Structure 1
Amino acid sequence: MPNMPSSTALIHYAARAGDHNDRAMAATPYLAAALAAHLGVAPTTVGSPSPSDPSGWDAELAFALPAFKELATALDRALDAKRYPVTACSRCAPAIATLPVIARYHPDVLAVWFDAHADLNTPENSETAYLGGMALSGPLGMWDSGLGAGLKSAVLVGARDIDATETPVIDGERIRLIAPGANLVEDLKKAVAGHKVYVHLDCDVLSPGQMPTDYKVPDGLSLEQLGAAIAAIAQVAEVVGVEIGELETGETEEETKAKAKKLVETVSPLLVAQYGQQAQ
């Protein structure tokens, strides 16, 4: 098959990205190590940790911009070499850099956004000025991040903490919401069937206690439901890459290792290159 990638490219984004605290930066080496062990490939590390210093979106973006550009370049190189990209991120904000690259190579891609939040705020309407809250809106062209756009459509999966300013743009066509509930897996399956998709996973899509993460939003997915959703995507869609973020360190190093390994096991159906596969 002409589009079949030759291998997997594992990228470890290690730098600050609008962080409220340092725990996600501290967790990414464990996530990258778990992914490396599962995939049998060594990661390419982008950036390095620096102490969190929460401020407005513009200051955070300016600080993160060199690492974001390096991340975009790493992803561009992987896709140009027809390698399947798997990225371990600290937070969700690096999607500002990754999704425009994905959209350039796959103009018809559907972003599947697993997150407790919609991340559709813009600099003009955000009440918190939090960079991560704009992580999806930038690639969708709702504001100019300086890193490009090009993403045409997205499916929000598991979002339940949605701001009043975000609700009007979730139109069911360009941006669709699949809320937590008994029908989530079947609804998701219908939404992505036959599509080319890129999967973004924030750990806070899960109910509190499933994974250590910054935000603890009730009534999320269980690990079992997430696993079923991931398996459904792999069955009916052509997956062109995956990125994982918002895992924080646990109480001990052993807990962090165990949680990272469990997370990788849960998403394992997406860790196999599927370019050129015919959707079922």
Structure 2
Amino acid sequence: MAKLTEYTVFQGRAGDHNDLAIPGALAIGEELSRRSGISPYIIGIPEPATNSGWREELDAALPALREMQSRLDDVFARGAVSIAATSRCAVSLATLPAVARHNPSVCIVWFDAHADLNPPEASISGYLGGLALAGPAGLWDSGLGAGLHLDQIVLVGERDLDPYEVELIAQHRIPHIKPEDDLAKALRSAIAGRAVYVHLDCDVLEPGIVPTDYRCEGGLSLDDLKACCEVIADHEFVGIEIAEFQNAWEPDGPPVSPDPLLDALRPLLAQR
């Protein structure tokens, strides 16, 4: 019997460098609604980006992030699958502790050009999004909780890592599947039969496929992403958060459709 699916769109501020990801998340939500016939639950109110340091950004984002966490607690408490458009990676500070609370042994498959495993004191950029996985993994206290263990994380596509992250990944033997690897085979092995929750930062893709804030050469293709989703679809699927899709290539540019991205995710979305 198919599980109930709940759709959520985050529209608050979350450490944004620019104003393109909030409408990008809304565009994803609208397209998911068109495909599913289900209107998404909206969290937060859009605010202009200020491009401040992590502390200022976190303080500004906390009310909406707490609301997002409460939403996912409710979704998982009802046994539903969560499909969310989360604008920026920093929203994971709120979502992943809720995932861990309700799914203690879940495997987090983190698609991203970056690991986002820095605590504040190790961050080179001071960017809130770069701390997004470290908080839920208990490497610093964001005020939103933790609950994940490092052995629950599988990294896919990361190719721009800070020295602290490189050492952490090696020390804890965190699976790190690189774009040039046999993605499907390596991912299946790393998941090892566990339930899966997916974080997708669109900069895991080769630049030029979809608009993103960061652009790191050597990324995945949409076919690569689809192949990974086919592997994940063979496991118990807890949910997915789609982050860092910008609705245009530049400010005031024409809108870009999320259709090709969502088509690549179809092996997961089609189960719902």
Q: Matched residues in 2 for 1:69 and 1:243: separation?
A: 16
- What is the one-letter code of the residue matched to 1:104? R
2:244 aligned to which of 238, 246, 254: 246
- What is the one-letter code of the residue matched to 1:128? S
- What is the one-letter code of the residue matched to 1:228? A
Please provide the CA RMSD for this pair. 1.7
1:38 aligned to which of 35, 42, 51: 35
Q: Matched residues in 2 for 1:248 and 1:56: separation?
A: 21
Q: Does 1:131 align with 2:128?
A: yes
Instruction: Give the deviation of 1:122 after TM superposition.
Output: 0.7
Q: Deviations over 1:201-240 (max 9, x none)?
A: 00000000011101110000011111111111112x2111
Q: Deviations over 1:13-64 (max 9, x none)?
A: 0111000000111211111111112222110000011000011111100000
Who is 2:109 aligned against?
Answer: 112
Q: Matched residues in 2 for 1:35 and 1:223: separation?
A: 18
2:144 aligned to which of 139, 144, 147: 147
TM-score (norm. length: structure 2)? 0.94
Structure 2: gaps spanning 5 or more residues: none
- What is the one-letter code of the residue matched to 2:266? S
8 Å Cα contact 1:116-1:220 kept in structure 2: yes
1:96 aligned to which of 68, 76, 93: 93
Q: Does 1:269 align with 2:267?
A: yes
Q: 1:209 to 1:69 in 2, by over 3 A?
A: same
- What is the one-letter code of the residue matched to 2:214? Y
Who is 1:157 aligned against?
Answer: 156
Q: Deviations over 1:64-99 (max 9, x none)?
A: 000000000111111111111100011111000000
Q: Deviations over 1:160-213 (max 9, x none)?
A: 000011111113856221111141221112111311110000000000001110
- What is the one-letter code of the residue matched to 2:123? S
Who is 1:70 aligned against?
Answer: 67
Q: Matched residues in 2 for 1:110 and 1:172: separation?
A: 19
Structure 1: gaps spanning 5 or more residues: 275-280
Who is 2:219 aligned against?
Answer: 220
Q: Matched residues in 2 for 1:111 and 1:39: separation?
A: 25
8 Å Cα contact 1:240-1:273 kept in structure 2: no
Q: 1:139 to 1:126 in 2, by over 3 A?
A: same
Who is 1:278 aligned against?
Answer: none
8 Å Cα contact 1:154-1:174 kept in structure 2: no
Q: Matched residues in 1 for 2:170 and 2:270: separation?
A: 32
8 Å Cα contact 2:110-2:155 kept in structure 1: yes
SS at match of 1:124: helix
SS at match of 2:121: coil
TM-score (norm. length: structure 1)? 0.91
8 Å Cα contact 2:81-2:237 kept in structure 1: no
Q: Does 1:81 align with 2:78?
A: yes
8 Å Cα contact 1:8-1:41 kept in structure 2: no
- What is the one-letter code of the residue matched to 1:38? R
Aligned-residue identity in percent: 46
Q: 1:150 to 1:156 in 2, by over 3 A?
A: same
SS at match of 1:165: helix
Q: Matched residues in 2 for 1:172 and 1:189: separation?
A: 22
Q: Matched residues in 2 for 1:21 and 1:102: separation?
A: 28
Deviating more after overlay: 245-254 vs 192-201: 245-254
- What is the one-letter code of the residue matched to 2:33? A
SS at match of 1:213: coil
- What is the one-letter code of the residue matched to 1:55? S
Q: Matched residues in 1 for 2:253 and 2:229: separation?
A: 27
Q: Matched residues in 2 for 1:273 and 1:46: separation?
A: 25
SS at match of 1:94: helix
- What is the one-letter code of the residue matched to 2:265? V
Who is 2:119 aligned against?
Answer: 122
> How many residue pairs are counted as aligned between the two chains?
268
Who is 1:209 aligned against?
Answer: 208
